Chain A
Amino acid sequence: MAKQRAAVLGTGQTHHRSKRTDVSMPGLLREAVDRAMVDADVGWSDIDAVVVGKAPDLFEGVMMPELFLADALGANGKPLLRVHTAGSVGGSTALVAASLVQSGVHRRVLTVAFEKQSESNAMWALSIRVPFTMPVGAGAGGYFAPHVRSYLRRSGAPEHVGAVVAAKDRRNGALNPHAHLRQSDITVDSVRASQMLWDPIRYDETCPSSDGACAMVIGDERAGDDSPAPAWIHATAMRTEPTTFAGRDQVNPQAGKDAATELWRQAGITDPLSQVDTAEIYVPFSWFEPMWLENLGFAADGEGWKLTEAGETALTGRLPVNPSGGVLSSNPIGASGMLRFSEAAKQVMGRAGDYQVDGARTALGHAYGGGSQYFSMWLVGAVKPT
């Protein structure tokens, strides 16, 4: 039997900062949850179930924190699920919440993802010891820089393209009142003058460490029909591959390609660049924009950087990418994927404020995690799917 239709009824997020010492974890989550519930115009009695997502528990030092958060999330007496799929978790969490509606089990589901990185030290929590992974040290940047170098070699992309991404995303972030980094005066030249961290990734091409949360209310077809401007879920996809094996393409992973193929197939999209109006793509280091443009099928292999260089991914371009400022402007890890999904929803709901893409009717939300091995994505639209 076919899936039931589902729609995003409302979204909410915190003001992301490096340290939100003004709130506890429950306080942080409620900031996002309360905003999402106001946006969706629902009360606690309307919520049938709660789905929580976050990246590793070691980031806050609490084992399965959803257990102690049950009070704050109004979950007592209700079903509560906790998803964890590495950096893609915010996206996967949204997809599990959508499943609860698409399977006909519930009418309205609250979903929230968060990270309070200031409670711990993510970089060292990410530096896993041998024998489980090869020792790369220094967290995610040290892990991903070789993939970026490989992309540069394979594509022949000029080296300033990374800085073009960073300057664009940070300037977009300046339009977003919730963004952690808001740098309206950043330029390609100033990015290129910043400190080199993991060659070729410079300081200004790197995501921040943020405290933050993101929440959404997802409802069934009837709830969507009753909502003034819902974001209808047109397609969803998740794929996983192992971290390491001989012959693995870490620059353009098969799992990402397979997920995108499935997404476009479900939505009946044959030419993503023409048929998708805007995309919120998980770009923690600048160069992942052109890399994922290719992986997602917006550009041919080796050609993604040309869209970026030509300004086609800017707010006024053919495919605005990360109009919200993206992961480069705010990175509460566990919530970063859900932020991508909810920012895509906000665009088609017409609620993106100063970074609204004109006429956005169809938007992609994308997240990845682990060693570029976990992918989750959805396509949302202003119009109900047929």
Chain B
Amino acid sequence: MTEVAVVAFAQAPNVRRTHGTTNGVEMLVPIFDEVYTRTGLSKADIGFWCSGSSDYLAGRAFSFISAVDAIGAFPPIHESHVEMDAAWALYEAWLKIRMGEVDTALVYGFGKSSAGDLRRVLSLQLDPYTVAPLWPDSVSIAALQARLGLESGRWTEKDLAEVAARSRRDATGNPRAQFGGETDVAALLDADPVADPLRRHDIAPVTDGAAVIVLASAERARDLADRPAVIGGIEHRIDTPSLGARDLTTSPSTRLAGEAVGTDGVEVAELHAPFTHQELIVRDELGLGDAVRINPSGGTLTGNPMFSAGLARIGEAAQRILDGEATRTLGHATSGPALQQNLVTVLERG
């Protein structure tokens, strides 16, 4: 089957609030332009389009339909959409190239979280008959997960603060990050909890944003980028939605996906962890040792654009290869409450 490579990645600035519509068009047009410029491709050269977004985040049905206005989709295009993080749209596009149907694809994700109250919106992902009516919000559920890890000795509050401090420090080198800077772990730990035991620094910010990746068959990729990032493997799995039915300090779906792609020899990993303790879970499940550089972009803790943050992790991991800084990197995306669903991809210098 055809090998597939990432040839370009761009993301909109991660910001607390945009003035644009929930269509994403205002965030998408400039970043489409970036990847067109970088690859020399135009709209007419793209064989398949696939996006990820959410109607609930936008607050209305069919929000993704207006997003195709960012493309200028006439003459008509070969296009699909997942109601998931766009990392899964990338998976669908990967299939289309792999099966030889097309040799280029453009994948994008967008979300305007500022349009609603994110932690309550995400409550509507829960079982509508028995759980959602109680309105447990996304931060509270993550706090339960963090608490279980503290009590079992899996991590300490200091471990979590160190993840936050490292992320903020790294984000200073990322012009698209929402914030960054030097912080003192002791000072972070002095803050009051927001959702005990989670403090502000443990929780990803609310972010408006968008991201785009261009994929190409490995053969075509050589013409489009100097150092294409070849997808060595891409796998995803889901766990039970029942929060009481699994050990929340683990992520079996991450482990299965990681084992299926093979994570040995990874130099850099971009992990989609909207909470500090979740980075520790994912890192452990993927068997990433101390030598692996985690989230050099600053990661999700310094910018969490819903429905494109996972795609952006793959983009950041690919960028290290496109820039010639690494030869084998890993991108991870998550979806659902408490790391319910996870995707892992390994990228390699072609």
| Chain A positions near chain B (C-beta within 8 angstroms) | 1-4, 24-25, 55-65, 67-71, 75-86, 92, 95-96, 99-100, 102-105, 125-126, 128-129, 131-133, 238-243, 245, 248, 253-255, 258-259, 370-371, 373-374
| Contact (A64, B336) CB under 8 Å given A82-B84, A104-B98 | yes
Cross-chain contact A92 with B54 (CB below 8 angstroms): no
Question: Which residue, of A67, A239, A253, has the highest number of chain B Cβ atoms within 10 A?
Answer: A67
* Chain B nearest CB, measured from A5 CB (Å): 11
Picked from A76, A99, A253, the residue with its CB within 8 Å of the CB of B92 is A99
Cross-chain contact B241 with A71 (CB below 8 angstroms): yes
Cross-chain contact A238 with B101 (CB below 8 angstroms): no
B253 proximity list for chain A (CB < 8 A) = 77
Cross-chain contact B241 with A67 (CB below 8 angstroms): yes
B186 at the interface (CB under 8 A from A): no
A103 to B79, CA, bound (A): 17
* Chain B nearest CB, measured from A221 CB (Å): 13
Closest to A245 in B: B74
Picked from A25, A95, A255, the residue with its CB within 8 Å of the CB of B76 is A255
Residue-by-residue, is B100-133 near A (CB-CB < 8 Å gives 1, otherwise 0)? 1100000000000000000001101111110110
In chain B, positions 208-242 with a C-beta closer than 8 Å to chain A are 235-242
* Chain A nearest CB, measured from B17 CB (Å): 18
In chain B, positions 118-165 with a C-beta closer than 8 Å to chain A are 121-122, 124-129, 131-132
A78 to B260, CA, bound (A): 11
| Contact (A24, B55) CB under 8 Å given A82-B83, A239-B77, A254-B75 | no
Cross-chain contact B125 with A68 (CB below 8 angstroms): yes
Picked from A62, A80, A84, A128, the residue with its CB within 8 Å of the CB of B60 is A128
Picked from A58, A65, A67, A92, the residue with its CB within 8 Å of the CB of B80 is A92
B252 at the interface (CB under 8 A from A): yes
Cross-chain contact B80 with A254 (CB below 8 angstroms): no
B36 at the interface (CB under 8 A from A): no
Cross-chain contact A105 with B80 (CB below 8 angstroms): no
Question: Which residue, of A59, A61, A84, A96, has the highest number of chain B Cβ atoms within 10 A?
Answer: A84
Cross-chain contact B128 with A56 (CB below 8 angstroms): no
Cross-chain contact B100 with A1 (CB below 8 angstroms): yes
Closest to B99 in A: A103
B88 at the interface (CB under 8 A from A): yes
Cross-chain contact B1 with A64 (CB below 8 angstroms): no
| Contact (A96, B68) CB under 8 Å given A77-B256, A79-B238, A81-B91 | no
| Contact (A84, B83) CB under 8 Å given A63-B125, A76-B239, A240-B77 | yes
Cross-chain contact B76 with A77 (CB below 8 angstroms): no
A65 proximity list for chain B (CB < 8 A) = 128
A241 to B71, CA, bound (A): 10
* Chain B nearest CB, measured from A125 CB (Å): 5
* A–B pairs, 16, beta carbons within 8 Å: A1-B100, A59-B61, A62-B128, A68-B128, A69-B241, A77-B238, A77-B253, A82-B88, A84-B82, A99-B101, A103-B96, A125-B61, A132-B21, A241-B76, A255-B76, A374-B65
Cross-chain contact A58 with B60 (CB below 8 angstroms): yes
Closest to A93 in B: B80
Cross-chain contact B99 with A79 (CB below 8 angstroms): no
Picked from A57, A71, A78, A374, the residue with its CB within 8 Å of the CB of B83 is A57
A105 to B45, CA, bound (A): 26
| Contact (A104, B99) CB under 8 Å given A67-B241, A67-B335, A238-B79 | yes
Cross-chain contact B65 with A84 (CB below 8 angstroms): no
B41 at the interface (CB under 8 A from A): no
In chain B, positions 33-83 with a C-beta closer than 8 Å to chain A are 49, 54-56, 60-66, 68-69, 72-83
Cross-chain contact A105 with B95 (CB below 8 angstroms): yes
Cross-chain contact A81 with B82 (CB below 8 angstroms): yes
Cross-chain contact A76 with B77 (CB below 8 angstroms): no
Cross-chain contact A103 with B69 (CB below 8 angstroms): no
* Known A77-B238, A92-B80, A371-B65; further 16 A-B contacts with Cβ < 8 A: A1-B2, A1-B100, A3-B100, A4-B99, A62-B132, A63-B122, A67-B337, A68-B131, A77-B239, A83-B83, A84-B55, A99-B101, A104-B99, A105-B98, A128-B60, A243-B65
